[in-house]
Structure 1
Amino acid sequence: MIGDFTYSEFFSILAMQGFAGLILFSVFVLMALGLAIIFGQMGVINMAHGEFMILGAYVTYLTSTLVTAYLPGIFPIYFFLAMALAFVASFLLGVFVEWALIRHLYRRPLDTLLATWGLSLVLQQLYRSVFGAREVGVTLPDWMMGSVAVSDMIEVPINGLFVMALTIVISIGVYFLMYRSSWGKRVRAVVQNRVMAGAVGINTKKVDRMTFGLGCGIAGIAGSAFTMIGSTGPTAGQLYIVDTFLVVVFGGAGSLIGTIASAFTISQAQSTLEFFLSGSMAKVLTLLTVVGILMLRPQGLFSLNIRR
């Protein structure tokens, strides 16, 4: 016996908490991948990143509503369409924001923090005006409902499995885009030496704009995934922005492997501690542990050698 639980019950609960941590890990990775591209590659502190995620969630909600009303025949596969639209909407807004605001603030991190924080407030009010203050949810296709029985005491929700599979696909796609494509080479060239990259003919302004848009677009996909595990409201993005920055900084800015490892560590720690403690205490202990590690290793778990 462990407390009031038998050994079988205790380890089953730990397994369930571990899987809940994997779902949280998936959301963290999808959010942090976009932020790692923006913050790690461009040095821009984007406090409105959560609002780009919520834009993707609202696009998914609108797609669900419109398909249900006008195109019920494609409802079983509408979620894939919704994710594509969420990416496009967040990408285009990101490109516009970079052109209208961010490009004037490069190499001024405090100014980007304040400007994007103001942008987040504007977007929150815009969402509140358009969609209302109440939280909304999407209707999932039947094949995403239910759970898979792993054992007599452990059941895994199907939508959680879908979110994890989506995370794996997006992570692999980002890896090949950043490290195995000609565009990724241009991005890394601009990060390592902007002046030299411009001298050899790389359009650094276009690279910046597309990079910022890509990071925002991935946040939009994270918003689509978020609708499967939570309801969408104007301020829902702010619940994840601090944890997402924590994941990026702890993993090492600009490191894809570090981002994934950091997201896994933090999500599993929070999920496991929540079983023994309250949710707020779990966050506090996780934060204190991460801060302590960063004091010993300020560059994060993984670091890149970048010429400034």
Structure 2
Amino acid sequence: MFDYSFAELSSILVMQGFAGLILFSVFVLMALGLAIIFGQMGVINMAHGEFMILGAYVTYLTSHLFLEFLPFAYPAYFFVAMVFAFVVAGALGLLVEWAMIRHLYARPLDTLLATWGLSLILQQIFRSTFGAREVGVELPDWMMGSLALSDTIEVQINGLFVMGLTVAITVAVLTLLFKSRWGLQVRAVTTNRTMSGAVGIDTRRVDRMTFGLGCGVAGVAGAAFTMIGSTGPTSGQLYIVDTFLVVVFGGAQSLIGTVASAFTISQSQSALEFFISGSMAKVLTLLIVIGLLMLRPQGLFVLKVRR
């Protein structure tokens, strides 16, 4: 650290801060879906990473379809792929909730084991379908390159796009939860499930749609992930632990806490990775979060509910 001039160190910190914002974007998109599922339903979805990778593979297939059949429209393929990723991942989420999750409510350990098994099944399906090697998409020309903020600082255009997408999705989810009738029902079920059922809210339908929405948002996270990295059958497992950490640290039932937690963890990890190894940065970040959770086990933000 002491071998750099002040100007060089400032540029490094800005560049690492930008890299942290890209990591923050992936964390937020992943954690939003997980926070919705875990916060309202109490379901520990260990297959959440595989729903993200499903969205990434849907984006990969869509890009190839556009290259082969609609090459003139390829610059806009991602927007179509994002919709497909949301629909496919959300539909699979609805199916999983109906076939498996609805039988395991109030049994968090069973949901953990069942969804862990589901994640292994999905990984094998991905491996059998797309192969064990990682695949990537060809970015449109308008996403290539970088913007020069100064002589020593450049930011990637695709990273800026992913951050803009994250802001849009976060605003859309918050609007849906706090400004729509369905969102009112979700918050009512979270606050008091028994009373919500007594006043006529179909809590089972709310649970199913919530699980589907959470999985759909994970699919969109997978679509965004293709903009910054390659996709493999086990790529989702690289993020699932960090995502749970973000949700727990922010407060399991607080979306605002999830965003704040994702920003804190991503920026800390990105800054530390430049000065120490990536694995040690993860370990140090984890130790800091564990220490803070020992002081505040309920997380950064707490939703007050009646029991």
**Fold conserved (TM > 0.5)?**
yes
Give, in whole Å, the separation in 2 of the partners of 1:190 and 1:75.
43
Moved more, 177-186 or 194-203: 194-203
| Aligned residue in 2 for 1:173 | 172
Aligned residue number for residue 242 of structure 1: 241
2:281 alignment counterpart = 282
Residue pairs, 1:213-252, within 5 angstroms = 213-252=212-251
- SS class of match (2:151): coil
Query: How far apart are the structure 1 equivalents of 2:208 and 2:2?
Result: 55
Report the Cα distance in structure 2 between the residues aligned to 1:193 and 1:265, rounded to whole angstroms: 31
- What is the Cα deviation at residue 199 of structure 1? 1.5
SS at match of 1:189: helix
Cα distance per residue 1:196-240 (max 9 Å; x no partner) = 111111111110000000000000000001001110000000000
Q: TM-score when scaled to structure 1? A: 0.99
After superposition, residues 1-308 of structure 1 pair within 5 angstroms as 3-308=2-307
Which SS does the other structure have where 1:202 is aligned?
coil
**2:277 counterpart letter in structure 1:** S
Identity of aligned residues (%): 76
> What is the DSSP-based 3-state SS (H/G/I as helix, E as strand, rest coil) of the residue aligned with 1:156?
strand
Q: How far is 1:307 from its partner?
A: 2.6
Residue 204 of structure 1 aligns with an amino acid whose one-letter code is: T
SS of 2:112 mapped into structure 1: helix
Distance 2:304 2:197 in 1: 20
**1:305 Cα deviation from its structure 2 partner:** 1.3
Answer with 214-223 or 185-194: which moved more: 185-194
Q: Secondary structure at the match of 2:133?
A: coil
Q: Which amino acid aligns with 2:184?
A: K
Please give the per-residue CA displacement for 1:242-301, whole angstroms capped at 9, x wherever unaligned: 000000000001101100000000000000000110000000000000000000100000
Gaps of 5+ in 2: none
Code of the aligned partner of 1:166: L
CA offsets 1:48-97 (integer angstroms, 9 cap, x no match): 00000000000000000111011112101010000000000000000000
Structure 2 counterpart SS, 1:121: helix
Offset at residue 306 of structure 1 (A):
2.0
Local SS of the residue matching 2:30: helix
In 1, the alpha carbon distance for the partners of 2:213 and 2:44 equals 15
Structure 1 residues without counterparts, runs of 5 or longer: none
Distance 1:41 1:277 in 2: 38
Residue identity matched to 1:174: V
CA distance in 2, matches of 1:50, 1:285: 23
Q: How many angstroms apart in 2 are the aligned matches of 1:151 and 1:218?
A: 35
Equivalent-residue separation in structure 2 for 1:135 and 1:239 (angstroms): 14
Distance 1:193 1:274 in 2: 43
Q: Which amino acid aligns with 1:167?
A: T
TM-score w.r.t. length of structure 2: 0.99
Compute the displacement of 1:194 (Å).
Answer: 1.4
Amino acid at match of 1:141: P
Larger mean Cα displacement after TM superposition, 108-117 or 186-195: 186-195
Tell me, in whole angstroms, the C-alpha distance in 2 between the residues paired with 1:120 and 1:305: 33
Q: Distance in 2 between matches of 1:23 and 1:277?
A: 19
Q: Which amino acid aligns with 1:7?
A: F
Cα distance in 2 for partners of 1:3, 1:262 equals: 30
